Chain A
């Protein structure tokens, strides 16, 4: 079975400092990995995706993530946090061949302070 673990339920950073949101996945096959962002009472928006091409994936709003197979990790980073980055972030895994089935992490709430 596929699963994904987000290691922090809550992360707080100051505006202008780096962001690191951690995600580990379990894998029997080659996974597709995603990060989605959710602002309060809104739907989810795709930030970036890894689908077996380049291991360093760049997404929207300056976010990027690196797929590390040896560590089964897919951490999300951003060099400099902005107040508008405050939201809930979900790490998501699916597997080629199991079309339609996504498995979501429990989410990391990012707080950005002045």
Chain B
């Protein structure tokens, strides 16, 4: 069953704690993305990666870190420097190249709350 798996579905962070959100895909896509969604706003890009061992900052990268050691995995760490981490986090992936037409496929999301 092909797709994008995000875990956990719900996550709670204590003050000063780093937490890591998992994103795994078996679509053989080269590119992967992390978005943050807040109520009444569209999705905002945190980080993206177009190839293994390489990634770029998106529009709101401060307080977040990522790694891309394997093609199928793109974990996101929300660090203690992120002062307002409560949000719904979405991971996506896409093929690369003109034929991909920039279509991104999304996971089911992780809802992060602060204790």
| Alpha-carbon distance A103/B104, docked complex (angstroms) | 12
Question: Does A100 contact B50, Cβ atoms closer than 8 Å?
Answer: yes
Residues 40 to 54 of chain A near chain B (Cβ within 8 Å): 41-46, 49, 51
Q: Does B33 contact A (CB under 8 A)?
A: yes
Q: Does B48 contact A (CB under 8 A)?
A: yes
Interface centre among B98, B102, B104 (most CB of A within 10 A): B102
State which size class the interface on B falls in. Answer: 20 to 34
| Alpha-carbon distance A102/B100, docked complex (angstroms) | 13
Question: Main SS of chain A's interface residues?
Answer: loop
Question: Does A49 contact B101, Cβ atoms closer than 8 Å?
Answer: yes
Question: Does B43 contact A42, Cβ atoms closer than 8 Å?
Answer: no
Question: Does B48 contact A43, Cβ atoms closer than 8 Å?
Answer: no
Q: Which of B31, B88, B105, B107 contacts A100 (CB 8 A)?
A: B31
Q: Does A73 contact B (CB under 8 A)?
A: no
Question: Does B31 contact A46, Cβ atoms closer than 8 Å?
Answer: no
Question: Does B109 contact A104, Cβ atoms closer than 8 Å?
Answer: no
Q: Which of A51, A90, A101 contacts B42 (CB 8 A)?
A: A90
Q: How far is the CB of A44 from chain B (nearest CB, A)?
A: 4
Question: Contacts of A100 on B, CB cut-off 8 Å?
Answer: 31, 33, 48, 50, 94, 96, 102
12 cross-chain CB contacts under 8 A: A9-B40, A36-B106, A43-B4, A43-B108, A44-B106, A46-B103, A99-B96, A100-B33, A100-B102, A102-B45, A104-B43, A106-B41
9 cross-chain pairs, A with B, having the tightest CB-CB distances, nearest first: A104-B42, A43-B106, A94-B102, A44-B106, A104-B43, A43-B108, A51-B101, A106-B42, A43-B107
Interface residues of A (CB under 8 A from B): 9, 32, 34, 36, 41-46, 49, 51, 90, 94, 96, 99-107
